[in-house]
Structure 1
Amino acid sequence: MAVKKIGTQTVKFDSPPVITGTSSIVGPKEGEGPLSSYFDVILKDDLFGEKSWELAESKMLREAVKSAVEKSGKKLSDIEYMFSGDLLNQLMSASFAARDLGIPFYGLYGACSTMTESLSLGAMTVDGGYADNLVAVTSSHFSSAERQFRFPLEHGNQRKLTAQWTVTGAGAAIVSSSGYGPRIDYVTTGKVVDLGIKDANNMGAAMAPAAADTIVKHFEDTGLPTSYYDLIITGDLGKIGKEIAEELVLDKGYDILKNYNDCGLLIFDNKAQDTHAGGSGCGCSASVFCGYIYKEMMKNNINSVLLISTGALLSVTSTQQKQSIPGIAHAVSITNNRC
């Protein structure tokens, strides 16, 4: 019997795992945005001393893990599992970093939802008694994502106004069975939702229905009021997707307008930085959570957060098959009831 399951899609932890340390690394453009003071490392150039953007992304992920481990007061040898993923084929950034770090590795793909997917599975692993310390970490890179999913940068194509800017960044969080830091109380696992959007330059619209579905299910399962959270924040919807999600959630009877925002809107100044609809990518919610949100929680400026990372499950293969873009979103409830 699943004694920790509540409702249909939510887990409530008996011994809530603790996030004992985080680290965030971002690129130069992100470092020029409104959240610059919250990031641990801002790269001076997006190659990070490497020969390719893909290798730079893997290095960001690897260095974020090492920094988060150090900030949590632990050693690499204390970390029992690494739950990680990225946007590149075969999870190149995560798997190459895991190779170098020597940590037992679970490679995950949830597109831009991977940060909360890794936090969810990591928290279940710790609460289940299978580990005392693990790391949840994800990354993305504007240039590597553009090369894989859209056009070579040399093409110089004009971006649609609905398009979002893939964040160059990585975020790592140490999840522990005990220690000092915010706690993960609930996890709501999302369903794949597909309303038939086919435009890869309008991923906010493709992901918004999945985000709304998971948000509504979280409140249905837990019975909590929307006012319980100081901040309800999606990962990667940007301006257009956020507006759609607000309407869809409101249609189901839940008003989140007063405490809802999106990481893709916070990380850039869309007008000044010309990012059109906002930010996206695995590194978007990862760097915003591990930078801005976590540090504000440690200052007691934010005490309860529902983090919903959102992913568009398209690929080069699915696009070639002329398929629509399914969306997925996972929610993690994090509070400041510290150990």
Structure 2
Amino acid sequence: MKRLGRYTLLFERRPAILGHAAVCGKKEAAGPLARDFDQTFLDSYLNQESWEKAESMLQTEAANLAIRKAGLQKQDINMVFAGDLLNQCISSTFGLRGMDIPFLGQYGACSTMAQTLIMASIMVECGAANYACAVTSSHFCTAERQFRTPLEYGSQRAPTAQWTATASGSAVLGMSGDIQVRHATVGRIADLGVTDMTNMGAAMAPAAAQTLLDFFNDTATKPEDYDRIYTGDLGAVGTKLLYELLRENGIVLRNH
């Protein structure tokens, strides 16, 4: 592993995703990504006593599925990096405590899955772990209660409001796989003063744009060198702002 430029890591041993899984709720199962989910739950409570416990169950299911799809057992995993949107990463803690795997909690808000993948890749690359698991989750009902207004309050949603996914994703990393992690660029804090809690797309777009610019600069590449460029859910407003910010820096994204 070595550094490229100021912000990017190059993984020379090329850690790989050996197994991955995604589980979701009813709304996500009705969307355009429906066929990509391994498991769907039509009950937002997942037969649990609270939405928070339901979110923990999402993580349990996603992590176990990813490990099985990698052809491994829980005892093969050296460490798990996991996080969610709730205080003290409580969904991750209760969702994964029964797996008896060394646990490192992560909090990156909407970038948590990228953060867990980076940390797991570093551990596999340097030999600290033969296998590492990266997990994250969210639940619409728990996120609304945590960050905005509880659903029972019945407030009207703003046109710019995001709809937090009820879902969990997991990936198991090791060596010698087809889907490899080549680089990692850790984003910087970019704050343009957006304070509207119902417009997270606009709040996140500056950091998304800056991270892409840093990556292109460090790797001496351009958008045309890649088949796909994905960001988190910036929404219609945030995506438009992302285009504008990149265009101001000479980068034009097409078919994003």
TM-score by length of 1: 0.74
CA distance in 1, matches of 2:147, 2:222: 39
Q: Is the 8 A contact 1:55 1:93 kept in 2?
A: yes
Identify the match of residue 222 of structure 2 among 225, 230, 239: 225
Deviation at 1:236, TM superposition (A): 1.8
Unmatched 5+ residue regions in structure 2?
Answer: none
The question of 1:195 aligning with 2:186 is answered no
Q: Within 5 A, what are the aligned runs for 1:170-209?
A: 170-178=168-176, 180-209=177-206
Displacement of 1:235 in angstroms is 1.0
- Kindly report which structure 2 residues correspond to 1:243-262, keeping only aligned pairs within 5 A, or say none: 243-258=240-255, 260=256
* Cross-structure match for 2:60: 62
Structure (1/2) with the larger strand percentage: 1
| Deviation per residue, 1:288-313 (Å, 9 max, x gap) | xxxxxxxxxxxxxxxxxxxxxxxxxx
What is the CA distance between 1:44 and its match in structure 2?
A: 1.5
- Corresponding pairs, count: 256
Write the mapping of 1:90-239 to structure 2, written as runs, cut at 5 A.
90-178=88-176, 180-239=177-236
8 Å contact from structure 2 (residues 59, 96) kept in 1:
no
CA distance in 2 between counterparts of 1:81 and 1:227 reads 36
Residue identity in the other structure for 1:58 = S
| Deviation (angstroms), 1:107 | 0.3
Give, in angstroms, the shift of residue 211 of structure 1. Answer: 0.2
What do residues 135-181 of structure 1 show as CA deviations (whole Å, max 9, x unaligned)?
A: 11100000011111111211111100010101000000011122x33
| Separation in structure 1 between the aligned mates of residue 28 and residue 96 of structure 2, nearest angstrom | 25
| 1:51 paired to 2:49 | yes
Report if the CA contact (8 A) 1:21-1:181 is conserved: no
Whole-angstrom CA distance in 2 between matches of 1:177 and 1:94: 25
Deviation at 1:239, TM superposition (A): 1.1
- Whether contact under 8 Å (1:98, 1:104) holds in the other structure is no
Indicate conservation of the 8 Å contact 1:246/1:257, yes or no.
no
How far apart, in 2, do the equivalents of 1:152 and 1:189 lie?
Answer: 32
* Structure 1 segments of 4+ aligned residues over 6 angstroms from their partners: none
| C-alpha contact (below 8 Å) 2:161/2:200 kept by paired residues | yes
Q: Aligned partner of 2:193: which letter? A: G
Deviation per residue, 1:227-278 (Å, 9 max, x gap): 11111010121111111011111211112223x2xxxxxxxxxxxxxxxxxx
CA distance in 1, matches of 2:33, 2:95: 26
Secondary structure in 2 matching 1:231: coil
Deviation at 1:98, TM superposition (A): 2.7
Assess if the C-alpha contact under 8 Å between 2:24 and 2:168 holds in 1: yes
When the two structures are superposed, what TM-score results if normalisation uses the length of structure 2?
A: 0.98
CA RMSD across the alignment: 1.0
What letter corresponds to residue 210 of structure 2 in structure 1?
D
TM-superposed CA distance for 1:115, in Å, is 0.4
Q: Secondary structure at the match of 1:247?
A: helix
Q: Which residue of 2 aligns with 1:286?
A: none
Write the distance in 1 (CA, Å) between the matches of 2:178 and 2:12: 17
* Inter-partner Cα distance in structure 2 for 1:61 and 1:228: 34
Question: Structure 1: which amino acid aligns with 2:7?
Answer: Q
* One-letter identity of the residue aligned with 1:94: S
